[in-house]
Amino acid sequence: MSLRILNLKVKVEQKLILSGINLEIKPGEIQALMGPNGSGKSTLACALMGHPHYHISQGRIFLDSRSIEKLPSEQRAKLGLFLSFQHSVGISGVSVRNFLRASLKALKGEIDLQKFLNDLDQEAKLLKMPLDFAKRSLNEGFSGGEIKRLEILQLLMLKPRYAILDEIDSGLDIDALRIVSRGILRAQKLGVGVLIITHYSRILKYLQPDKIHVLIQGKIIKSGGKDLAKKLEKTGYEAWAK
Amino acid sequence: MKPGQNKFRPKRESQKKPLGTDKFDYKYLSRAGLSDKLIKEISLYKNEPAWMLKKRLGAFQVFQKKSLPAWGGDLFGIDFKKIRYFLKPMDQVAQKWRDVPAEIRKTYQRIGIPQAEQKYLAGVMAQYDSAAVYHSLQKNLAKQGVIFLDMDTALKQYPRIIKKYFGTVVPAGDNKFSALNAAVWSGGSLVYIPKGVKVEIPLQAYFRINAPNVGQFERTLIVVEEGGYAHYVEGCTAPIYSADSLHAAVVEIIIKPRARLRYTTVQNWSKNVYNLVTKRAFVYGNGIMEWVDGNLGSKLTMKYPSVYLLGEGAKGSILSIAFAAKGQHQDVGAKIIHGARNTSSSIVSKSISKESGRTSYRGLVKVPKGAKNCKASVVCDALLLNKTSRSDTYPRMEIREPDSEITHEATVGQIGEKQLFYLMSRGLSETEARNMIVQGFIEPIAKELPLEYAIELNRLIKLEMSGSLG
């Protein structure tokens, strides 16, 4: 069982952005994908989740041995894939609570309302969400840090099998970074396989990833253990691009 | 006068034996077309006082002289000669639910009135064709001196109130359709809230068109005396017809100092109905008027709820939502006249257009010279569901006092691809995602509606979105 990406090539508006990505993430594992701006990190995230603008020209994606690259986004979600967005779009008038209920219902069928409310309350406390967050419109009127915590709240409520977290650490202060990291570690304990996409190594200190991959110009040029992050911090991406 | 006292005593009326037979039938089917003779017949049939007939005939003169408005929607499909101006399904207003004929009861069951009544209805006033068939008023309301009657009965019991206020807020000469209404009106409600009386339960009215070429010309008058409060709710659904129908209602509201009224409407006329309504409120010192208006059905709706702020400190707000699907035009909006100092107003207008549907926002905010220190805010948001959908805004501002605080925001948008992808990545289908975005869009209005109406509005819009309504 794993999320397996095989020789994935992705085009955006006829332009090849990813040229043959190979990755495998197992349940309960944390892996990190690092790379400079424009290397194709978010393209990989969007292509995995099935954004219609990202065209998979070659390669396969297997979720627990089921091929998903031709499925629409909602089917991928139903099979257990989750994407935390780099830029979460706001939806006016739809409360966080109603949205999460609708999402859970779509993913798992009927839900126990009381249990849902209890879980939501508990996770919100652990993530230090503002008191009235559940009544507020989805991703509207929240600070940048709150929106990131809201993404982690969704991860913990929806309990997918595999999660891609695109720049979940960007714009977070030290406290928020710690809260978000703890949330990710809770998801890991639940058995979620996590792919962290990031520019910086600082979140990796909290998460202790099993593997780190370096993506440059649409290709993974190096994979390794957590020492790789330290090296990157010292040398920068420039040195690897050659 | 003490709160709870009604200065208008009901007029004693000798009980007349109802005309017609016992079996339910249309007791009076008027011929199509309009004439002095028909108006006299209607008035005679209803046993009205002479002054009302005089008003009707005068209004008919005005109607004939006035031309159709040159703006708004296409009104040329109305053939005034083919419309029947009066229908009466029953002779008496039924006082109790069990007295309402089974056929009509069944219709209402489908709309859901009895259940609603069981919950918290104060009184139900239902209009079936041109006459009220059902009316009940809770005893405690009557004790407080509150009047909540269908207009025909009210004219018999409280002619003094009607004579005093009828046509004072919306005169017959206001527009062609207010003139038509004054000439042939039938049904509608009279609500009278005595000084200091606060009615906490919503007063609800339902009405419905159910025959081809039937005009509905109900007339509603609401008077809230000093310090009084009420929430009047009307909603209507109508089945689909092959022939065009005309609905031209007039609503007149008078809010005395420190009084407050909320008037909520959710309308879902069938898609061949011309819905041309004049709604206006006069608000005196520190009074508050709130219109909440939802327009879903009809072929063309032209409706601009208005508030005239006539006393210092008066407030007015107009919240509206319009949905136009294929072949529909919702030309709706709001009008606020700041006729006194220190008055404030707010307009929130939301519209959704689907396929070839068209929505227009037509608004006016007027602050004349001398009305110092007024505040007004206007927000209008339009959502277009398809490339062929259309939305226009005509926001007029006539501000003659420089110290006024006026804000205006307008947005036109489509359902964003990013929003759809976000929701679909959480397991929602595209249809579910679209529905959710639309429901969110109307939420600021829906949350102001009584729960049942909010649910109904959401359900109707969902049905409209799925295209399962004709």
CB contact under 8 Å between A92 and B418, yes or no, is no
Q: What is the pLDDT of residues B175-184, one digit of tens each?
A: 999 999 999 9
Q: Is B326 exposed, middle or buried (0-12, 13-18, 19+ CB in 10 A)?
A: middle
Residue in the block written with tokens 């339960």: B201
A84 contacts on B by Cβ (under 8 Å) = none
Q: Which of B374, B368, B305, B365 is nearest to B336 (CA)?
A: B365
**Confidence band for B97, pLDDT divided at 50, 70 and 90:** low
> Model-level pTM?
0.83
Whether A158 and A119 have beta carbons less than 8 Å apart is answered as no
Examine the pLDDT at B423 and tell me if it is beyond 80.
Answer: yes
Q: Which of A53-62, B113-122, B212-221, B426-435 has the lowest mean pLDDT?
A: B113-122
| Cβ–Cβ below 8 Å for A77 and B427 | yes
The pLDDT value given to residue B203:
84
pLDDT at A107 over 80: yes
Contact between chains at B419 and A73 (C-beta distance less than 8 A) = no
CB contacts of B419 in chain A (<8 Å) are 89, 91
Question: Do residues A46 and A21 lie in contact, with contact meaning Cβ atoms separated by under 8 Å?
Answer: no
Q: How far apart are CA B321 and CA A242, in angstroms?
A: 59
- Mean pLDDT for A77-92 is 95
Length of chain A in terms of residues written: 242
Two structure tokens written together for B84:
């029947």
Which among A73, A87, A92 is the nearest to B425, CB-wise? A73
The alpha carbon of residue B113 and the mean position of all alpha carbons in its chain are separated, in whole angstroms, by: 18
CA distance between the termini of chain B: 53
What mean pLDDT do residues A187-214 have? 94
CA distance B329 to B334: 16
Beta strands in B47-156 (DSSP E): 87-88, 123-128, 131-137, 147-150
State residue B116's pLDDT score.
43
Query: In which region does residue A117 sit, left (phi positive, over 0), alpha (psi from -120 to 50) or beta (all else)?
Result: alpha
In this structure, the number of other CB atoms found within 10 A of the CB of residue B409 comes to 10
Q: Tell me how far apart the alpha carbons of residues A233 and B78 are, in angstroms, rounded to a whole number.
A: 76
How many C-beta atoms lie closer than 10 Å to residue B216's C-beta?
28
* pLDDT confidence tier of residue B245, bands split at 50, 70 and 90: confident
DSSP state of B173: G
Interval A128-146 mean pLDDT: 93
Q: What is the pLDDT of residue B105?
A: 57
Contact call for residues B239 and B268 (beta carbons, < 8 A):
no
Query: Closest residue of B to A160, CA-based?
Result: B426
Does the distance separating the beta carbons of A73 and B443 come in below 8 Å?
A: no
Q: What is the mean pLDDT of residues A60-82?
A: 96
- Report angle CA A188, A190, A192 to the nearest 5 degrees: 50
Q: How confident is the model at residue B129 (pLDDT cuts 50, 70, 90)?
A: very low
Between strands B229-237 and B260-268, the pairing is parallel
pLDDT of residue B378: 97
DSSP characters over B276-293: EEEEEEEE-TT-EEEEEE
Confidence tier at B244 by pLDDT (50, 70, 90): low
Average pLDDT, chain B: 82
Tell me if residue B452 falls in helix, strand or coil: helix
Which stretch of DSSP H or E encloses residue A12?
strand A3-12
Q: Is the pLDDT of residue B136 over 60?
A: no
pLDDT of residue A67: 96
**Mutual orientation of helices A113-126 and A144-158 as an angle, nearest 10°?**
140
Distances in whole angstroms, Cα of residue A88 to Cα of each of A83, A85, A91, A165, A166: 10, 5, 10, 12, 10
Residues of B engaging A, defined by a Cβ cutoff of 8 Å = 416-419, 421-430, 432, 436-437, 439-444
Max CA distance (Å), chain A: 56
Q: Backbone phi, then psi, for B299, in 5-degree steps?
A: -80, -50
User: Is B444 in Cβ contact with A106 (below 8 Å)?
Assistant: no
Q: Which residues of A touch B416 (CB under 8 A)?
A: 89
DSSP B198: B
Which residues are CB-neighbours of A139 under 8 A, at least 6 positions away? A88, A89, A90, A91, A147, A150
- Asked whether the beta carbons of B229 and B256 are under 8 A apart, the reply is no
What is the arithmetic mean of pLDDT over B43-58?
94
Does the pLDDT at position B10 exceed 50?
A: yes
| A chain contacts of residue B428, beta-carbon cutoff 8 Å | 74, 102-103, 106
Question: Rounded to an integer, what distance in angstroms lies between the CA atom of residue B469 and that of residue B451?
Answer: 23
Q: Identify the band that residue B216 occupies on the pLDDT scale cut at 50, 70 and 90.
A: confident
Mean pLDDT value across residues A154-168: 97
CB A91 to CB B426 under 8 A? no
Q: Determine contact, residues B213/B182, Cβ cutoff 8 Å.
A: no
* Alpha-carbon gap, residue B9 to A239, rounded angstroms: 95
User: pLDDT value at position B270?
Assistant: 75
**How far is B222 from B265, CA to CA, in rounded Å?**
15
A158 touches chain B (CB under 8 A): yes
Decide: helix, strand or coil at residue A70. coil
Distance CA A188, CA A30 (A): 7
Q: Do B419 and A91 touch (CB under 8 A)?
A: yes
Burial of B242 (0-12, 13-18, 19+ CB in 10 A): exposed
pLDDT band at B33 (very low <50, low <70, confident <90, very high): confident
In the structure encoding, which two tokens stand for residue A7, read together? 């020789």
* Bridge partners, residue A62, by sequence: A4, A67
A71 inside 8 A of chain B by CB: no
Residue B222: band (very low, low, confident or very high) from pLDDT cuts 50, 70, 90: very high
CA–CA gap between residue B437 and residue B241 (Å, rounded)? 31
Tens of pLDDT, residue by residue over B196-210, are: 999 987 887 654 344
- Using CA atoms, how far apart are residues B418 and A51, in angstroms rounded to an integer? 9
- Lay out the sheet containing B344-353: strands in order across: B131-137, B123-128, B203-208, B229-237, B260-268, B288-295, B315-324, B344-353, B375-384, B405-414
Q: B419, A78: Cβ pair inside 8 Å?
A: no
Q: What is the DSSP string of A44-57?
A: HHHHHHT-TTEEEE
The CATH number given to A3-91+145-241 is 3.40.50.300
DSSP, collapsed to helix, strand or coil, labels residue B136 as strand
Confidence of residue B394 (pLDDT cuts 50, 70, 90): very high
Q: Is the Cβ–Cβ distance between B167 and B198 less than 8 Å? A: no
Is the pLDDT at A184 greater than 60, yes or no?
Answer: yes
Q: Between chains, do A77 and B424 touch, taking CB under 8 Å as contact? A: yes
CA distances from B274 to B57, B244, B271, B294, B336 (A): 24, 7, 8, 16, 24
Q: Indicate yes or no: CB of A77 within 8 angstroms of CB of B440.
A: no
Residue B209, number of CB atoms within 10 A of its CB: 27
Residues B233 and B454: their CA atoms lie apart, in Å, by: 12
> Given the DSSP bridges, would you call strands A54-63 and A211-216 parallel, antiparallel or unpaired?
unpaired
ipTM: 0.97
Distance from A127 to chain B by nearest Cα, in Å?
20
Choice between B240 and B166, residue whose per-residue pLDDT is larger: B166
User: If 0-12 CB within 10 Å is exposed, 13-18 middle and 19+ buried, where does residue A200 land?
Assistant: middle
> Cα–chain-centroid distance for residue A211?
16
Give the integer Cα–Cα distance in Å for B190 and B162.
8
User: CA of A86 to nearest chain B CA: how many angstroms apart?
Assistant: 11
Q: Name every chain B residue with its beta carbon within 8 A of the beta carbon of A50.
A: 424-425
Backbone angles phi, psi at A236, to 5 degrees: 80, 170
Q: Do B424 and A92 touch (CB under 8 A)?
A: no
B297 bridge partner residues: none
pLDDT of the residue at B236: 56
Map out the domains of chain A as residue ranges. 3-91+145-241
CA distance B268 to chain A (A): 23
**Residue range A13-39: average pLDDT?**
95
